[in-house]
Each structure stands twice: as C-alpha cells, then as structure tokens.
Structure 1
Amino acid sequence: MVPVLRMHEPLRQLQTWRAGFRWSRLSAAAQKEIAFWAVVSGAVFFLFHLHGNSQEIATARHSLFRWLGTRWTGDYAYGMFLPLASLLALWWRRREIAAATRRADWRGAPLVALALVLHWLGVLAQQPRISSAGLILLLWSLPFLLYGWDLARWLVFPAGYLFLAIPLNFIDSMTAPLRLFATAVSAGVLNGFGLEVYRVGAGLFSGAGNAFSFNVAPECSGLRSLLAMTALMGFYAWYSQKTLWKKWALFLCSVPVAIVANICRIILVVIAAAFFGQETAMGLWHDYSGYPIFLIGIALMLLIDRLLNLDYPSAWTTLKNRFLASASS
C-alpha cells in the first residue's frame, strides 16, 4: 500500500527540522564553525560587492553582483537561474558532503591565492568576467583548503556549473556563422521537401513568386537556445549519467541539439508562410514557436540520454531473435 502524505506532514517535518537545528542544541565546535563561515561569507560578499566591479560603474556601481544582474538579460537571461541550480545540486549531495572526511589540505592554498589574484586582475583590467571566475574558484578552493579533497570533490560540479552563468562577449560573434549555417541547412531541407526556396546570405526567399521572404535576424540565430540548452543539458548530464565520459558526451551534445532545434523552427516558420501567408507566420507563430521548439530540444536530450544508457548487446540479441522469429513464421 502506497503511503499517503497528509497536508500537515510537510509542516510537521519543517518543525522537526527547525527543532533539530536550534542554536542552543549545537555543540560549541559547531557554533564556532558556523560563526567562522558566517564571517568568511560576509567578507567574500563585501569584497565582491564593494570592490568587485570597475566597469559600467554608473549602472552597476562597484558591485560584481549588480553587474551580473545587468548582464543576465536577453540571450543570457538563463544565468539568473544557474546559482539556484547549483544550490539544488548541493542539496542533492548533502549526505555525501556531510559524510565526507574533513581534513585541511594545503593544496587548496595556491588556488585560494589564484582566485584572489584573478579578482584583482579583473578589477585592474576592468574585466568583471575575470573577477567572476575568481569568485567561483574562491567558492570552491576555500572548502578544499579547510576540509580537503574528500569534501571538495562533491563541490566540483556545483561550483563549476556557475561558469556557465558568466556572460561572455566573444560568444556574440557566433551569431553570424550560426545564422548562415541554419539558413543553408533549412534551405536544403525545404527544397528536399519540394518547397522551392533559395538562399541569399541569411535570407530565405520563395522560388515561386513573392509568397514569402525571410531574413534570419541575429536574434533568430539560435544563440539564445544554444546557451540555454547548454546550461540545461549540463545539469541534466550531471544528474542522469553515472560515468564521466557519458556526462561529457551528453553535455557536448547540447550544441548540435540546439542547432537542430533552431533549424526546425526556421523550417516550420517558412512552411507556415507558404501555407498561411507571411503575415501569419511572422505573427503569433514566429513569436511563440520557440516554446514547442524548446520541447523538441528536450525530447532530443532525452533520446540521447536513452541511447547512452542502452544495453546494446541485449538490444541486439532481442532484435536478432525477433527477426529470426518473424523469418521462420
């Protein structure tokens, strides 16, 4: 019989959790450790909040966190969710972290120093992205220094995942090649389906009169879906795969998955224009087609996940037996 969680159970569990973590019930060593980390966290926060940014001071002042907030828009809007995802990853690994052997490891000291140097160089060079990398490295290297590798290894992904939240300017230069590639493939697929189109640069034009003409703008290059899919598949790969090579394989597949999803979107917009007119295609369908296309990306992600975990010898044996059975009948 499946147990039923009554409505008052979550409240009771929360009260139990709060009662178990009352300050007065903690040991003196635990109180000192919490106080120490409160001081360290406050120092790190004020360092990067008051002296973390020397660029665009008019909008972000001197805060690295304010600067990140101003950059997490447009193609990088997904960035604001990645710290929450890292916290979720920490929560899922809370038992392993709590059970880890804690012993100071001085190999973390050079990494702490490197993190502070990166921050200093970032402020000096007016490059908040370098300071952001220094902050992430500091968040990982401090526990490594104080508690050792046995604990720090569980923090590698939650900390490393935050690097995807750093907005990088050079990625914007990818819009032009992405547009050209997407339009070239879309034109080939559409002509293969019998819908005559020709391509000029990043534009797609009807081969049968003036039925439609599209220019794939930089906003439609697929960069936004590429970045968002990279972040999503990175987290899913860490969560779903058990071996390191499968984690990396699924994560690296995020690039072709995002490109394929964007090509599907362009193809569907052109097909909608051919059947319902360009005005209809550029209206509601163009504005909201990103949502079903993102679902296509998720479906491809799940398919790749299934293929990575498929037992190929058993699948081949099953397929061979079915073929022999059908041939004999």
Structure 2
Amino acid sequence: MESQPNSPGIVAEFKAEFLRCWQLLPNKGLFFGLLGGWLMLFQFLGNGTFGYVDTSSLLKWMYAAYNIKNTVTDDGIGNLVPFAVLALFWWKRKELLALKLEPWWPGLVVLFLSLALHVIGYLVQQPRLSIVALFTGIYGLTGLVWGFGWMWRSFFPYFLFIFSVPLGSLAEPISFPLRVFVTKIVAMIAPLLGIDVIREGTQLYDGARTYQFEVAAACSGIRSLTSIIVITTIVAFVFLSGNSKRMIMIVAAFPLAVIGNVIRLMGVVVVADMFGQDWGNRVHDSFILSILPYIPAILGVYALAFWLNKPRAESPLPLETKPV
C-alpha cells in the first residue's frame, strides 16, 4: 500500500498564509519604522505622573494599571485586548489586502491631533488621555501608509482598543450600583431556597449572623461586565449584520453580567449556609469558580446570536380591498 503524503500541519499552513499576506502588504518598512518611532515617544516621554508608578514610560504605566503585584486588576482585560485585535485583523486579512493600499496624506492630520492630545495629557498629568492618543496615533499611521479604505474597514476591530483604557476609580459610579443591585437580588432569592439572609448595604448576613459576606469593589462584577461587553461586541460585528441587531447584542452584556454574578454570589451563600463561612470563603476565592459568571454569559450570547440570526417569516401582504 502506498503511503499518503503527510498533509501540512496547522502551523505550516499558518506560516505559509502569513508569508503570503506579508508579501502582499505594501509599505511595511515605512509603517513599522513610523510605528517604532511613535512607540519610543510613549516609552520615554509617555507618562507625566510619577506618584502612581515611578516611570516615564506610558507602556509600563498601563501594565501597572492592568496588574498590581502580579494580580490582575478589574482593568486586566487590557492585557488581552491587543491579542483580540490582532486575531480579528487576521480574520479580516483578505478583505483588507484586497483594497488599494497606498499612502493617504490626510492620515497625518489624525497623527498630529493624537500628538496634541498626548501633549495635553502629559501636561495635565492624565495618562488616560495619552493612552487614547497612543492608539489613535497608530490608527492614523495605518491610514497614512495604507489609505482611508484601510482605516474605514479596520475601524472594527481597532475600536476594541477603547477597552485598553483603564478606568480605575472612574468605574465607581457603575460598580457600586452594580454591587448593590446584585446583593439585593441574592437577598431576594436566598429565602426561596430556605436560607435566611439579612442585607445591609452590600453586606449579607445569615439570620444568626454566624457568617457574613460583603460584595466588595473587587467583586463588583465590573471585571466580568467589561469582559462580557468585549465578547458581545466581537460577536455583534463578526456574526451579526445590521446596527439594531448589533446594538441588542452589546446591550445584552449588562443583564448577562448581572445574572452571572448573582449565580456566583448565590453559590457562595449556599455553601456558607451548608458548611460554614470558611467553605464559603474558599468558594469565593477559588480561581476556577471565579470563571462561573462567564458560563451563563457565554451561553446567553450564543442563544441570543442564534435567535437574532434566525430567519424571520415575512408577514403576509394585506389583501387588496375592492370597492363595494
């Protein structure tokens, strides 16, 4: 029996496709040269504040905002956004490479406006403005080197970089009401399961006050909310057509995040009621169980996308009426 030639593996196929796209992409040296210079600006003159992180690098400041002492913060989604954007650019590669790619000098306007925004952010010591300037400037560079068509077709996924701007304390107007809302729902559901729970603000006690839990800022759900918004935004633009359907999908992130966090907190309360607060703390601190809010959210996103893409039966035309 003749042996069949081995088919190229996934890695080899990816490498061949990458080299093909690389060869088709014009002005690579110009773009990456300008990109390197732009990044150097933010590396050495990017951060005007030295109280939060003692560094002049905006890139280091961003990393510190995403991670504190090797612990991912509520803004930690910023660690993953660049990889998501690159993956979506790869997904759109054929569409982008089919464009007429040539320099488009109005891209300089976007670049200069981004530079002005960074100067303002640097002088008034607002790194978030500089982060917006950083990514907006890179967007302007793509237009400068590859044209307006590239900018137009790549607005999504490039828009996802908005989630790279750390909110920090600015998220408090969202996170605190979310904490209260989740706590209220759990306090209403627990008695239905035979668990006597008393709510005081964002704290939950059992009837005998033998255990207590507080929905602290770190557990407010803002992290899962941000992550789910990113997921629903990607699904909306990749799998749905029409602005109304996309808006429904993105807005659905809010109830899905609430449902997920209610399930997680209910799990903590149930375990604590059955086995004591120590076991409840273990469930609360478990990394694996912290993923629990994403399970109903992902299932909900899948179901909603399926429903929105489901063909709708056309309504019958009204019968023509004839004069009597």
Q: TM-score range by the shorter chain?
A: 0.7 to 0.9
Counterpart for residue 146 of structure 2: 147
CA distance in 2, matches of 1:18, 1:101: 19
CA distance in 1, matches of 2:183, 2:77: 25
Point out the structure with the larger helix share.
1
Q: Give the 3 Å change call, closer, same or farther, for CA 275–108 of structure 1 in structure 2.
A: same
Q: Give the 3 Å change call, closer, same or farther, for CA 284–245 of structure 1 in structure 2.
A: same
Instruction: Summarize deviations over 1:273-309 as a string: whole Å, max 9, x none.
Output: 2223222222246524222332122112212222222
CA distance in 2, matches of 1:168, 1:222: 14
- The runs of 5 or more residues in structure 2 that have no matched partner are 68-72, 316-324
- Match of 1:199, SS state, is strand
Matches within 5 A, 1:72-221: 72-73=66-67, 74-102=73-101, 104-105=103-104, 107-169=106-168, 170-207=170-207, 209-210=208-209, 212-221=211-220
Task: Please say if 1:62 is aligned against 2:61.
Answer: no
Instruction: Summarize deviations over 1:177-215 as a string: whole Å, max 9, x none.
Output: 2221111111112234443322111122223x3453322
Q: Which amino acid aligns with 1:205?
A: Y
CA distance in 1, matches of 2:211, 2:14: 59
Q: Which amino acid aligns with 2:298?
A: I
CA distance in 1, matches of 2:5, 2:298: 31
Q: Percent identity?
A: 25
Q: Which amino acid aligns with 1:99?
A: A
Instruction: Summarize deviations over 1:50-101 as a string: whole Å, max 9, x none.
Output: 1111112784522111111111121122211110111111111111111112
Do the aligned partners of 2:115 and 2:137 also contact (CA within 8 Å) in 1? yes
Do the aligned partners of 1:48 and 1:63 also contact (CA within 8 Å) in 2? yes
Q: Give the 3 Å change call, closer, same or farther, for CA 18–51 of structure 1 in structure 2.
A: same
CA distance in 1, matches of 2:217, 2:283: 19
Counterpart for residue 254 of structure 1: 253
Mean Cα deviation higher: 226-235 or 40-49: 226-235
Query: Normalising to structure 1: TM-score of the pair?
Result: 0.82
Q: Give the 3 Å change call, closer, same or farther, for CA 7–210 of structure 1 in structure 2.
A: farther
Q: How many Å apart are 1:10 and its aligned residue?
A: 4.4
Instruction: Summarize deviations over 1:223-246 as a string: whole Å, max 9, x none.
Output: 221122222222232222222332
Do the aligned partners of 2:46 and 2:57 also contact (CA within 8 Å) in 1? yes
- Match of 2:75, SS state, is helix
Q: Which residue, out of 23, 30, 38, partners 1:36? A: 30
Do the aligned partners of 2:104 and 2:147 also contact (CA within 8 Å) in 1? yes
Q: How many Å apart are 1:21 and its aligned residue?
A: 8.4
Q: Give the aligned length.
A: 306
Do the aligned partners of 1:273 and 1:279 also contact (CA within 8 Å) in 2? yes
Task: Please say if 1:273 is aligned against 2:269.
Answer: no
CA distance in 1, matches of 2:154, 2:164: 17
Q: Give the 3 Å change call, closer, same or farther, for CA 19–174 of structure 1 in structure 2.
A: closer
Instruction: Summarize deviations over 1:101-129 as a string: whole Å, max 9, x none.
Output: 23555554432221111111111111111
Q: Which amino acid aligns with 1:41?
A: L
Counterpart for residue 289 of structure 2: 289
CA distance in 1, matches of 2:282, 2:14: 48
Q: Give the 3 Å change call, closer, same or farther, for CA 102–191 of structure 1 in structure 2.
A: same
Q: Which amino acid aligns with 2:253?
A: S
- The runs of 5 or more residues in structure 1 that have no matched partner are 317-329
- Match of 2:100, SS state, is coil
- Match of 2:293, SS state, is helix
CA distance in 2, matches of 1:309, 1:106: 40
- Match of 1:230, SS state, is helix
CA distance in 2, matches of 1:197, 1:119: 50
Q: How many Å apart are 1:133 and its aligned residue?
A: 0.5
Q: Aligned Cα RMSD in Å?
A: 3.0
Do the aligned partners of 2:85 and 2:157 also contact (CA within 8 Å) in 1? yes
CA distance in 1, matches of 2:5, 2:239: 27
